[in-house]
Structure 1
């Protein structure tokens, strides 16, 4: 299922690394992953704008939704019809907030597979030989430490730096969310980064930072309806 996307991502990341090599040197592949991630998020930005508009529309419709629920509490079928008609009349959708989040996962899975396959399109995956400082981009932290590397080994320190950056971004993102258990959700990226290849962790870092910044901008651009 992912063979073609993984092959295309291999070409994209390899090509970007080649372009960035004169400036980034040994960090070129890691930089290429960050650029690739930001390009993906930029392409999805129009959907994020639609998501923000959808949230504003849903907030505006809350009083009318409550009235419909009270009026048709004993008739679920009628409530569904009336709700659909209300959303249609207002040009809103109850699914407006789902699509951007769902579309990000295939790209993350492609990056994950790109750095876990030894062969891509019938050829050796040369990206697995690339590193970020002392840490191979295809290595995960759990495997590294479980394989005998100490917590303060150079490769482990690269991962610990990544975890610290992810935690900082998660804290920033959580501050933008309403108080409650959901504020813990952004910190799941730190746990995920421990078990996926370093390259996928970099994807999570760039994507999470983009999400937090994008949310802050869009909330100013589309404030909640009064």
Structure 2
């Protein structure tokens, strides 16, 4: 079944395609062949600008967790070997202090539909039976609908450097964001020998880089979205953390 033929999905994809096509046409006199890629970047920036209020809530939640850090540390020392009781105690603390542990996920969750839309727009040859002209858009000769893995196994492999540069930029951005997050809101290491302490430490170190792996396997248009959003997040958090200290 072609999901693009579903009434709601088809309408959303048509609207997204029309928006990107219009942006591309307007940017073509300035950006030339990179107009479509620039249109994706501008769309990302517009989405992130609209989500600034959620980012404010995210930083406030981080600030609250930093304020509660001594109490959280005491709970970990008290219940470090009893995961269930520790989780219950932490939840009670968050509830009593009116702190939402999910606030930090809001910007990511809110972007999921837009990223899914970009992904869909550059993976379907037709949208509700109409030829998808966006698949003809390129960046440095690479179609925006192709991923790094596809490019590396095609005659265009010599152009893969642009994707590798984007992934390197994303990796550096993720690491800078991780270090900034630790400085802003240090996380106390779990007690030695506590159940899952090693796994938790490894996860905290490497899970942020899942986005780099994701960006390597999705269409280049989605890679542009992820990289642009990550760079925006790094700068946005730096500014908001100063303002909401």
- The TM-score, its normalising length taken from structure 2, stands at 0.75
The structure 2 residue matched to 1:105, chosen from 93, 109, 112, is: 112
Kindly indicate whether residue 212 of structure 2 is the aligned counterpart of residue 190 of structure 1: yes
Deviation, 1:80, is: 9.0
Question: Residue 54 of structure 1 corresponds to which residue in structure 2?
Answer: 61
- The TM-score, its normalising length taken from structure 1, stands at 0.80
Deviation, 1:164, is: 2.4
Deviation, 1:196, is: 0.7
Structure 2, gaps ≥5 residues long:
1-7, 187-200
Q: Distance in 1 between matches of 2:141 and 2:148?
A: 12
Q: Which string of whole-angstrom CA distances, capped at 9 and with x for unpartnered residues, describes residues 73-127 of structure 1?
A: 9x99x96996576234xxx433322222211222111111110011124311000
Deviation, 1:14, is: 1.1
Equivalent residues in 2 for 1:151-190, closer than 5 Å: 151=157, 153=158, 155-178=159-182, 181=202, 182-190=204-212
Deviation, 1:174, is: 2.8
- Comparing 132-141 with 188-197, greater Cα deviation is found at 188-197
Counterparts in 2 of 1:199 and 1:54: CA distance versus 1, 3 Å? same
Question: Residue 23 of structure 1 corresponds to which residue in structure 2?
Answer: 30
Say whether the 8 Å CA contact 2:137–2:143 is kept in structure 1: yes
Say whether the 8 Å CA contact 1:68–1:83 is kept in structure 2: no
Kindly indicate whether residue 227 of structure 2 is the aligned counterpart of residue 217 of structure 1: no
Counterparts in 2 of 1:220 and 1:9: CA distance versus 1, 3 Å? same
Local SS of the residue matching 2:103: coil
Q: Distance in 1 between matches of 2:123 and 2:163?
A: 17
Q: Distance in 2 between matches of 1:177 and 1:85?
A: 23
Question: Residue 119 of structure 1 corresponds to which residue in structure 2?
Answer: 126
Counterparts in 2 of 1:213 and 1:81: CA distance versus 1, 3 Å? closer
Local SS of the residue matching 1:176: helix
Number of aligned residues: 216
Say whether the 8 Å CA contact 2:142–2:156 is kept in structure 1: no
Deviation, 1:2, is: 3.9
